[in-house]
């Protein structure tokens, strides 16, 4: 657990949330049903009671392709007397990472059988001017809290990815706060547990005997490591491995998913090979670059995605000139293709990884002692760094 001037992450997060309740007329907890948003919800509930700000506003953008365990857990939250629910079961479009040819899934389509039932208390009409998942967050807060100073509280943490770490610890988006995102002049999104580890998260849940999504228990019983458990839309790139274990955990849901989501059944049978770069170079290729180019030519079907991917790959390749790091770049591109990640999250995370950043700085002759152990820098070049260290 991190310590800040004799305060731990729990004390600091409560301090941050109290500040948000003092600053904003409306505070809305944005939940996914996962462990991080569970922590945010309970922290905000504590502060809302303390400041006489109940009922606490809670938002869930239900993507239909959700674990039944997530639905059950979120229904408990949304029907609490201390909660004012914003449960959205509206037509929307999300990325389908389970299929290379069909890029999108269409949630809550009229006249179609749904993966779980619509709840009586949910909002069912999309009056928000967009049907894209990520755009809805901005449009929803602007629609329901027009001309009111309001903010989301979300469970983003630095530990989850280099991209998130960079986003949450650099720049000032609201006064002196970096752990937030500006939506417009009066609406923001804050991440008050940004510096928690997954150990902190589970310790808080356990110490306070909090209710949580029981899908985690099922994942644990199947041997999924604690820091790799994902509760999200089940065909999103970060949680697509859920399709490999769904039949064991929720067989009834799997029967519906395998019919509704194109590509789900194939991934189930191909297992991890369907969306993860192989450890060894396939024998029919002479190099990782050749293998990567082959996949770009044959598996990236949308012209726009192909152009963007080639552009990013070539841009990175110009800066990464040594064999080992170029292999790592090609493997990341391959993972991008196989997981249908055309938000390019994997490539962005690769580019800002500390060891990749240190490599790039070394090539720009911006030396630092940490680069001595950098695996991507050839040993014969580290003599320059040693000479610089001796003379500095």
pLDDT for 254 equals 77
Partners of residue 295 on adjacent β-strands: none
What six digits make up the tokens of 243?
Answer: 């399709």
Give the containing element (helix H, strand E) for 43: helix 35-50
Cβ–Cβ under 8 Å, residues 155 and 119: no
Query: Between helices 198-207 and 9-23, what is the axis angle to 10°?
Result: 80
Q: Give the domains, in start order, of the chain with CATH numbers.
A: 3-203 (3.40.50.620), 288-391 (no CATH)
* CA–CA gap between residue 192 and residue 172 (Å, rounded): 14
* CA–CA gap between residue 126 and residue 136 (Å, rounded): 9
* CA–CA gap between residue 268 and residue 266 (Å, rounded): 5
* CA–CA gap between residue 132 and residue 112 (Å, rounded): 19
| Residue where the block lists tokens 């027009």 | 146
Buried b / exposed e over 338-349, threshold 16 CB at 10 Å, is bbbbbebebbbb
**Tens-of-pLDDT digits for all 392 residues of the chain?**
455 567 899 999 999 999 999 999 999 999 999 999 999 999 999 999 999 999 999 999 999 989 999 999 999 999 999 999 999 999 998 876 665 566 677 899 888 889 899 999 999 999 999 999 889 999 999 999 999 999 999 999 998 877 778 788 888 889 999 999 999 999 999 999 999 999 999 999 999 999 999 999 998 998 888 877 888 767 655 556 667 777 788 888 877 877 776 655 555 555 555 567 888 999 999 999 999 999 999 988 889 989 999 999 999 999 999 999 999 999 999 999 887 788 888 999 899 888 999 999 999 999 888 888 999 999 888 888 888 888 87
What six digits make up the tokens of 54?
Answer: 């109940």
Instruction: Supply φ then ψ for residue 145, to 5 degrees.
Output: -130, 40
* CA–CA gap between residue 79 and residue 119 (Å, rounded): 11
* CA–CA gap between residue 244 and residue 242 (Å, rounded): 5
Instruction: Supply φ then ψ for residue 330, to 5 degrees.
Output: -60, -40
Task: Evaluate the CA torsion angle 229, 232, 234, 238 in order and state its sign.
Answer: negative
Tell whether omega for the bond before 39 is within 30 degrees of 0, i.e. cis.
no
What is the model's pTM?
0.78
Q: 12 in helix, strand or coil?
A: helix
Q: 314 in helix, strand or coil?
A: helix
Cβ–Cβ under 8 Å, residues 55 and 81: yes
Q: Of the candidates 186, 192, 188, 196, which has an alpha carbon nearest to the alpha carbon of residue 158?
A: 196
């Amino acid at each position: 657990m991190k310590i800040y001037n004799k305060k731990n992450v729990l004390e600091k997060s409560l301090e941050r949330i109290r500040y948000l309740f003092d600053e904003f007329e409306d505070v809305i907890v944005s939940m996914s049903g996962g462990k991080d948003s569970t922590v945010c919800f309970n922290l905000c509930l504590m502060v809302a009671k303390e400041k006489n700000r109940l009922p606490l506003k809670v938002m869930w953008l239900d993507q239909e392709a959700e674990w039944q365990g997530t639905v059950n857990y979120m229904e408990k939250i949304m029907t609490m007397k201390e909660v004012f629910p914003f449960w959205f079961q509206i037509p929307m479009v999300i990325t389908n990472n389970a299929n290379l040819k069909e890029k999108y899934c269409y949630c809550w389509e009229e006249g179609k059988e749904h993966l779980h039932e619509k709840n009586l208390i949910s909002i069912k009409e999309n009056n928000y001017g967009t049907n894209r998942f990520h755009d809805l967050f901005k449009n929803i807060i602007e629609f329901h809290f027009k001309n009111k100073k309001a903010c989301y509280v979300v469970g983003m943490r630095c530990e989850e990815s280099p991209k998130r770490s960079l986003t949450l610890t650099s720049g000032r988006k609201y006064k002196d706060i970096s752990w937030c995102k500006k939506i417009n002049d009066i609406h923001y999104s804050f991440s008050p547990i940004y510096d928690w580890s997954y150990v902190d998260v589970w310790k808080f849940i356990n110490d306070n005997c909090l209710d949580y999504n029981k899908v985690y228990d099922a994942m644990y019983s199947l041997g999924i490591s604690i820091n790799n458990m994902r509760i999200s839309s089940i065909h999103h790139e970060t949680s697509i491995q859920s399709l490999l274990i769904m039949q064991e955990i929720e067989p009834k849901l799997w029967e519906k998913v395998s019919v509704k989501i194109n590509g789900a059944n194939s991934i189930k049978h191909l297992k991890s090979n369907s969306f993860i770069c192989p450890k060894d170079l396939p024998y029919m290729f002479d190099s990782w670059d050749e293998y990567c180019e082959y996949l770009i030519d044959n598996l990236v079907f949308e012209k726009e995605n192909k152009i963007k991917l080639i552009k990013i790959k070539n841009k990175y390749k110009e800066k990464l000139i040594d064999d080992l790091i170029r292999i790592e770049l090609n493997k990341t591109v391959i993972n991008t293709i196989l997981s249908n990640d055309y938000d390019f999250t994997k490539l962005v995370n690769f580019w800002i990884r500390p060891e990749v950043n240190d490599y790039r700085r070394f090539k720009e002759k911006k030396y630092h002692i940490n680069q001595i152990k950098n695996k991507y820098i050839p040993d014969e070049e580290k003599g320059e760094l040693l000479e610089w260290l001796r003379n500095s």
